[in-house]
Structure 1
Amino acid sequence: MRPELLAQMAAVQQTHWWFAARRDILSSVIDGLDLPGAQPRVLEIGCGPGGNLAMLARHGSLSAMEYAPEARAAAASLGLCPVEAGGLPEPVPFADGSFDLVCLLDVLEHVEHDDAALARVARLLKPGGRLLLTVPAYQWLWSDHDVDHHHHRRYTAGRLRAKATGAGLVVHRAGYFNTVLFPLIALARLVGKLTGRTGGDADTALPAPWLNATLRTLFGAERPLVARMGLPFGTSVIAVMGRSS
């Protein structure tokens, strides 16, 4: 990710509609996973500047890992959990079979060798552990946003399911979210391609307060449906996986 985009993300990650509504949705999904014990061990891989850490810390004993030094320093400065240096598929500074929940939230698209990355993450799970994974959806939505954020690809639920199975994971559910706003986002991306103006950095700019609140409400309205089953289409794929026996 371009350094200036990382700084912009760190500045808006608590208030921007997309980050805030996504956190609410993911928290509800985790609530439904029935993780073991009072303090299950939770790991976020690719935590960036730490926007999800406070939410994840409410679900268990949290650790985090981040490759980029600037993002890692920002996350560590929050004081919410240990933030280790590491990347996928290596180096990973944790023992195999250590975690009840591993979160890979809009990270896999940044990794060149995603098959190897998934296989490495599978080894981190305890027996019965869960992997919660989100990625951007549909290669035809590719735009300057993906280029600026150093993405390698976008996914479909089917493509992600196939890769996970090949990596030794069992897919318990895979679907989509950010569905309510999908028509507007898709139209904006397609118009941008036709006009040559796909505005990568605009996606992390903070809208006017009234618009930000409206978009958060619309996106957040999906929360109960995504928590139970996921949706048939959307701008993001969400999946819950486990390690195969």
Structure 2
Amino acid sequence: MTNAGKYTVIEGVKCFNPEVMSSYADYPDSGFQLTDENEENSFWVRSRNRLFKAIVYNQAKVGRTKLLEIGCGTGGFIRHIVENENLEITGSEVYISGLLYAKNKLPDVDFIQFDIVNGYLDQQFDLVIAFDVLEHIGDDVTAMANINRLLRPGGRAIITVPQHMFLWSRLDEIVKHKRRYSRKELVTKLKNNGFDIIFATSFVFILFPLMLVSRIFDKGFKQLKSEKVELEKRVKFPLLLNIIFDFFMRIDETLIKAGVSLPFGGTLVIVAQKND
């Protein structure tokens, strides 16, 4: 683990773990460009941003809330919450190419290069969020323990991961997932690393049958020479489908915002509090 507070400025970014900033061992470099180009048109990205924004605002303290996003990528989610003046936001990402996209669009936000497994920050936060991050990390237990250390007493974490190993497909391989989680596995790991579970729900519930069918077919999909092309084929949808799927995703959002814990779905969402 690196010494707290020590960093090197590279391309205008504070880099706490520069030794891994360009390795792309756990996420494809092309994924950042694809996300930056298509996130506003993707029903999945739009829906998750709406839901996660509501959860963040619900969990934020009254008054000033110091927030850290682990794995902020190109800063897409932060763009949806930066308007909230009560949030003091820091965005972190292990790979620098995503941060360069983020800094270009949000020059006033504090973005840092940081490895949650091998790095350490000399500050604590009220709220730490990690959306679809842990599945990329080999040592996810250490990552959870370090997230706990980054929280102030009583601080909370909002964590999302892909759910159900039976949904494993070529897409998981392309984006370098290490695993998909069961609810029991993630809850147990979080409890063992100093967290109490406040709320847990599945997401992508209404569209789950379609997701299941698509993943079954994807298991036998012929591999192409370019993983970038393969990724594009799996995450880009025609405009009409995006509109239809967006409508059904809003049902999930409404139920979760009402406090309903959905029993199954493609994504698992957990709100956990540091156990003091």
Work out which of the residue numbers 209, 221, 240 in structure 2 matches 1:210: 240
- In the alignment, is residue 39 of structure 1 matched against residue 39 of structure 2? no
Q: 1:157 aligns with which of 170, 183, 186?
A: 183
| SS of match in other structure, 1:221 | helix
The code of the aligned residue for 2:111 comes to V
Q: What does 1:221-232 correspond to in 2, within 5 Å?
A: 221-227=251-257, 228-232=259-263
Report the CA distance shift for 1:190/1:237 in structure 2 as closer, same or farther (over 3 A). same
Aligned CA distance change for structure 1 residues 86 and 220 (closer, same or farther; 3 Å): same
The letter for the 2-side match of 1:131 is A
Quote the offset at 1:86 in angstroms: 0.5
Say yes or no: does 1:125 pair with 2:151.
Answer: yes
Aligned-partner Cα distance in 2 for 1:136–1:200: 17
Q: 1:213/1:242 Cα in 2 relative to 1: closer, same or farther (>3 Å)? A: same
* Cα distance in structure 1, aligned partners of 2:67 and 2:209: 34
Asked whether the 8 Å contact 1:42–1:56 carries over to 2, the reply is no
- Counterpart code for 1:149: V
| Aligned mates of 2:47, 2:67 — CA distance in 1 | 21
**How does the TM-score come out when normalised to structure 2?**
0.82
Q: Please, what TM-score do these two structures have when normalized by structure 1?
A: 0.92
Query: Match for residue 239 of structure 1?
Result: 270
Larger Rg: 2
- Structure 2: distance between partners of 1:240 and 1:197: 38
Pick the aligned partner of 1:65 from 89, 92, 104: 92
Residue 200 of structure 1 and its aligned partner are, at CA, apart by: 4.6
State whether residues 22 and 220 of structure 1, in contact with CA within 8 Å, keep that contact through their aligned partners in structure 2: no
> Mean Cα displacement is larger for which, 131-140 or 72-81?
72-81
Q: Please give the alpha-carbon distance, in whole angstroms, between the structure 2 residues aligned to 1:145 and 1:88.
A: 24
| Structure 2 residue 31 is the aligned partner of structure 1 residue 5 | yes
Contact 1:175 1:231 in 2 (8 A): yes
Q: Does 1:56 align with 2:81?
A: yes
| CA-atom RMSD in angstroms | 1.6
- Among 89, 107, 123, the alignment partner of 2:117 is 89
Give distance in 1, aligned partners of 2:184 and 2:233.
29
Q: 1:28 aligns with which of 54, 57, 64?
A: 54
Instruction: Give CA deviations for 1:10-68 in whole Å, capped at 9, x if unaligned.
Output: 111122110001111112222332x2232311111100011101123245111110111
Q: What is the percentage of aligned positions where both structures have the same residue?
A: 25
Please state how far the C-alpha of 1:111 moved relative to its aligned partner: 0.7
User: In the TM superposition, what is the alpha-carbon distance from 1:166 to its structure 2 partner?
Assistant: 1.1
Q: Secondary structure at the match of 1:150?
A: coil
Q: After superposition, give the CA deviation of every residue in 1:79-133 in whole Å (9 maximum; x if it has no partner).
A: 25111010121213x324x211111000000111000000000011112211000
Once residues 250 and 83 of structure 2 are traced to their aligned partners in structure 1, the CA distance between those partners, rounded to angstroms, is 19
1:188 equivalent in structure 2 = 214
User: How far apart are the structure 1 equivalents of 2:44 and 2:129?
Assistant: 18
Contact 1:89 1:117 in 2 (8 A): yes
Determine if contact 1:141/1:189 at 8 Å carries over to the other structure: yes
Query: Equivalent of 2:129, from 94, 103, 110?
Result: 103
Unaligned runs of 5+ in 2: 1-26, 224-229
Query: What is the number of residues matched between the two proteins?
Result: 240
Work out the CA distance in 1 between the residues paired with 2:137 and 2:145: 13
| Aligned equivalents of 2:62, 2:153: Cα separation in 1 | 14
Counterpart residue type for residue 66 of structure 1: E
Aligned equivalent of 1:220: 250
